[in-house]
A = this chain, B = another copy of it.
Amino acid sequence: MNHIKEIHAADFVAVVQSGVSTQKLQEAVEKRGLFYPPDPASRADNFIGGNVATNAGGPRCLKYGVTRDYVLGLEVVLADGAILHVGGRTHKNKTGFDLTRLFVGSEGLLGVVTEVTLKLIPLPPFRATLAAGFDSMKSAVCALQKILAGGFIPSALELADAFTLAAAAKHTGNNRLGICRAYLIVELDGQRKSIHSELPAVERVIRRHKPLFVERGCGNDECEKIWQIRREFSDALRATGLMKLNEDIVVPRGKLEELFKFTAKLQKKHNLPIACFGHAGDGNIHTNVMVDFNQPRARQRADAALDELFRQVLAWGGAITGEHGIGLAKKRWWPLAVSKKVRKLHSTIKTALDPKGILNPGKFV
């Protein structure tokens, strides 16, 4: 189940079994000058099958889209044991209903994915990264919005808040992070000459918002050094000794600043740190409620904070999950997130495909 069956450079297609790790696939296709963009942070430890089940994202999804956008075809075992092949290997396909994408993100509730045909694209020849510290989240968000307004679509636009940065400074010894209230990472990719002219243009936009510092990385090695810091955020938060309840809410992009203001209030009200970082370009922020379960009523306070957060996100037209799914962890908020009619349609489809309810039972549907 962990075999890359085919990488076809002219068709721009890979066929992989569902147990192939995302990183293994990416490394294999990049050797051939090809690119599989979706990049969940845990790409070394997760698998294409799981990526399909959750419609996994990652930083690069801002420019390149999520797992869904790369699935051309699937082999799926249905509840009755039938082996189904949906989609195909063409980059466009309008043959019937979009069954492929009905299975993508269905969290194992409609079938078991055993093989995936993926779209590949040409590997961008060059990349460059900017990382900037700010003394306010407002400035960082404003810089982010001005970059997009300038017609740039970076391959990543990530933000981190003060709590995350303090933890990262302590964990990594990078003291500069500790003085910031916000940290913005912008990555550009494409042709080398283009990136060399776009990088200073984006840096000028950032500098207009008075950053405390700006770091530049050109080419893979320098970029990876900056991303190494970003990848430490989760470990740094865990190293605080607090339990990290990692949510993945999404707000409409224009609500980013309000989201950070709201979580700041929420922290005070419930006396719990909330560490926010993530894919700000998509409005998709990992909001980590940090809990010390030795403290009185810790679970209740965390739940109350999450409940308030989710209600506010939904009131803004946001979503309670951008890349993790509902599963068990968010089952409680499922009736809040979607209408009764939408839940009914989920049941209709689930019952039609899995009448005995044997696939991943007990989850949100």
Residues of A that sit less than 8 Å from B by CB: 8-13, 33, 54-55, 57, 61, 65-66, 68-69, 78, 82-86, 88-99, 101-102, 104-106, 109-110, 121-125, 145, 148-153, 190-191, 193-194, 197-198, 201, 248, 250-255, 279, 282-284, 317-326, 334, 337-339, 341-342, 345-346, 348-349, 351-353, 364-365
Contact = CB atoms under 8 A, between A and B. Distances in A.
Contacts of A78: 345
Number of copies: 2
A339 B85 contact: yes
Nearest to A125: B151
A142 B360 CA distance: 48
A329 B341 CA distance: 34
Contact of A97 (B54, B110, B198, B317): B110
Contacts of A123: 151
A339 B75 CA distance: 13
A10 B253 contact: yes
A151 B338 CA distance: 41
Given A95-B338, A194-B194, 9 more contacts: A11-B252, A66-B92, A68-B101, A85-B339, A90-B317, A97-B106, A98-B105, A349-B352, A351-B352
B319 A92 contact: yes
Nearest to A117: B317
Contacts of A255: 11
A115 B198 CA distance: 37
Contacts of A89: 252, 317
Nearest 4 A-B pairs (CB), nearest first? A10-B254, A194-B194, A92-B322, A11-B252
Given A65-B69, A150-B122, A153-B122, A250 B12 contact: no
Contact of A92 (B109, B282, B341): B282
Given A194-B194, A250-B91, A253-B11, A105 B110 contact: no
B96 A342 contact: yes
A151 B91 contact: no
A319 B252 contact: no
Given A96-B346, A201-B191, A13 B91 contact: no
A10 B148 CA distance: 9
Contacts of A98: 55, 68, 101-102, 104-106
Given A90-B283, A122-B151, A319-B92, A97 B197 contact: no
A110 B349 CA distance: 12
B282 A191 contact: no
A96 B283 contact: no
Nearest to A110: B97
